[in-house]
Structure 1
Amino acid sequence: MITAFVLLDVDVARVGEVAGLLTEVPGVREVYSVTGRYDLIAKVVVAHNEDLADVVTGRIGAIAGIETSETVIAFRSYSPRLLDEGFALGE
């Protein structure tokens, strides 16, 4: 599985609307409103790179109100449990 995070600049008057539309896109698992440089972050999980291209450029990119986006692909996932196990190796 491929996990990516799509960082979105959105027309401030349409943040709620865009967030709702994002939750309806197949492959979008979670949507967060955030502080800082971006307005929304969408977590996308798909099986193949081609699927990611379809979701990001085909579906997300077509949503009115999105001004710019940046997509980052996750290499590895770290959960609190995995981090705890890693630090306990020397014990």
Structure 2
Amino acid sequence: MKAFIEIYVAAGSLDMVLEAVKRVEGVKEAYPVTGHCDIIAVVEVPDLKALANLVTKCIHTIKGVESTETLICVE
């Protein structure tokens, strides 16, 4: 399954968080963006449980990550 994760980061930590996100297994692409979030990550995982683990155990544990919003592709 494919999903997009909007990542909100603490001031001054964008570069550090971006590099850490890119190293997470399952993250295919990650970009700094303008708008309401700071980083968009494109992820591909086998199922919803793997997605939940990626977000809660990998992304949320990166220093500087304040919050996330996950958008699951329906196609």
Same fold, TM-score > 0.5, yes or no: yes
Higher helix share: 1
Q: Compute the displacement of 1:57 (Å).
A: 0.8
Question: Which residue in the other structure is 1:64 paired with?
Answer: 63
Where in structure 2 are the equivalents of 1:7-86 lying within 5 Å?
Answer: 7-76=6-75
Q: Which runs of 4+ in 1 moved over 2 A?
A: none
Q: Compute the displacement of 1:12 (Å).
A: 2.5
Larger gyration radius, structure 1 or structure 2: 1
TM-score by length of 2: 0.95
Higher strand share: 2
* Residue aligned with 1:38, SS: coil
TM-score by length of 1: 0.79
CA distance in 1, matches of 2:66, 2:55: 14
Q: How many residues align?
A: 75
* Residue aligned with 1:37, SS: coil
Structure ranking higher on relative contact order (CA contacts 8 Å, 6+ apart): 2
Is there any run of 5+ residues in structure 2 with no aligned partner, and where?
Answer: none
CA distance in 1, matches of 2:45, 2:36: 25
* Residue aligned with 2:12, SS: helix
Using the aligned pairs only, state the percent identity: 37
